[in-house]
Amino acid sequence: MVNFGGWDMPVEYSGIISEHLAARTAAGLFDVSHMGEIEIRGPRALDLVQTVTCNNAAKLAIGQAQYSGLMTSQGTFVDDLLVHKVSDTHYFLCVNASNQDKDFEHIRSHNKFGAEVENAGARYTQLAIQGPKALGILQRFTNVPLDPIKYYRFTFGKMNGVDCLIARTGYTGEDGFEIYFSPEHSEKMWFDLFEAGKPDGLLPCGLGARNTLRLEAGMCLYGHEIDDTTTTWEANLGWICKLDKGDFLGRDLLARQKERGVERLLVGFEMQERLIARDGCPVFVAGREAGRVTSGSPAPFLKKNIGMAYVPASMSAPGTPIHVAIRNNQAAARIVETPFYKRPK
């Protein structure tokens, strides 16, 4: 068990590799109750969401979710998050555990819209069930037809007799669901899903597999790829930054940086030798130290050693050779396209 944002969480249950492979080939069950929830309500709830985030929440239909960034006035990340539109006057945000209180204060400090902002983390348990068998396992617990819920859509319904927000979202690169419900049902829900999924090869997954799965899927982790010094453009997250949606925090700086171009860019790389790049290892491009590995790990499904790092934008093209300092070695690596892993459709 490790302490993670104040939560005692297992790094692994049966082993990171078996858990990772279960999520890719069958199903993985993740207790992600540590994730924070912030709810914004009121006639001008959308205005507040639009002010503090960089994606265009006005485009959301009711029952739709979007990946977004909670921005500083400098156009850097306070956090990354999922914005769910529950109704025209109610938005449900899922944020990182360790950022929840900071996020809440940040949103509140920009609330010129009379919206009600609730730090609601204590009211929710979140479980993620991910992988090709996730839908089939979950469907046994609900009358809500799950297949019609499209990717990044959600609905409300009973799951195992418990009122849930049921979202087709995840952090693994697989199909799957994240469900949010009242914490008193946590244990029963966990064990019932676990027992039901066992014959299908479902395994409980810890923080270790959560990290390797998201890394293979090329997804950012706050505090690693993104933080309050990185911008959307640098992090290759331009697709969640909508300058034309109207004003929002950091928009001017982001617009200027877009025009000027970025100096550094987040890329994925693959080791060309057996050494494993780890978080913090220095990265060399064209013989010069360019930065540090933001995340580095063996990729259990791809059976490669992969990582992400910031490199000079002028030398960020896929195929570019780089070196990673690992102990006393300058280990060869190559910039590759991300995501490293894409699930078969």
Partner 1 sequence: MYPSDFRYTKEHEWIKVTGDTGTVGITDYAQHELGDVVFVELPKVGAKFNASQSFGTVESVKAVSEIYSPASGDVVETNTALADAPETINKDPHGAAWMIKIRLTNPKELSNLMDAAAYQAYIVEKEKEASA
**Contact status: 288 vs partner 1 (CB under 8 A):** no
Q: Is 16 in the site for partner 1 (CB under 8 A)?
A: yes
CB of 166 closer than 8 Å to CB of 157: yes
Q: Say whether residue 9 binds partner 1 (CB under 8 A).
A: no
Determine the residue type at 119.
N
CA–CA distances in Å: residue 110 to residues 39, 76, 107, 117, 228: 15, 16, 5, 11, 17
334 close to 319: Cβ distance less than 8 angstroms: yes
300 is an interface residue for partner 1 by CB under 8 A: yes
Q: Is position 68 an interface residue for partner 1 (rule: CB under 8 A)?
A: no
Q: Can residue 8 be called a binding residue for partner 1 (CB under 8 A)?
A: no
Stretch of 38-46, 141-149, 194-202, 272-280 lying at the interface with partner 1 (CB under 8 A): 272-280
Binding-site string for partner 1 from residue 195 to residue 234, where x marks contact by CB under 8 A and - marks none:
-------------x---x----------------------
- To the nearest whole angstrom, how small is the minimum distance from the Cβ of residue 12 to partner 1? 6
Q: Which of residues 120, 144, 255, 275 is near partner 1 by CB under 8 A?
A: 275
Residue 298 lies near partner 1 (rule: CB under 8 A): yes
Q: Residues 306 to 335: which contact partner 1 by CB under 8 A? A: 327
| Beta carbon nearer to partner 1, 275 or 313 | 275
d(CA 328, CA 181) in angstroms, rounded, equals 49
Output 15 or 339, the one with its CB closest to partner 1.
15
152 to 191, contacts with partner 1 by CB under 8 A? none
Query: Residue 15, interface with partner 1 (CB under 8 A)?
Result: yes
**Which range of residues in 64-72, 164-172, 268-276, 314-322 is near partner 1 by CB under 8 A?**
268-276
Q: Which stretch binds partner 1 (CB under 8 A): 15-23, 50-58, 134-142, 185-193?
A: 15-23
Name the segment binding partner 1 (CB under 8 A); options: 115-123, 233-241, 253-261, 293-301. 293-301
282 is a site residue for partner 1 (CB under 8 A): no
Could you list the residues that contact partner 1 (CB under 8 A)?
11-12, 15-18, 208, 212, 274-276, 278, 297-298, 300, 327
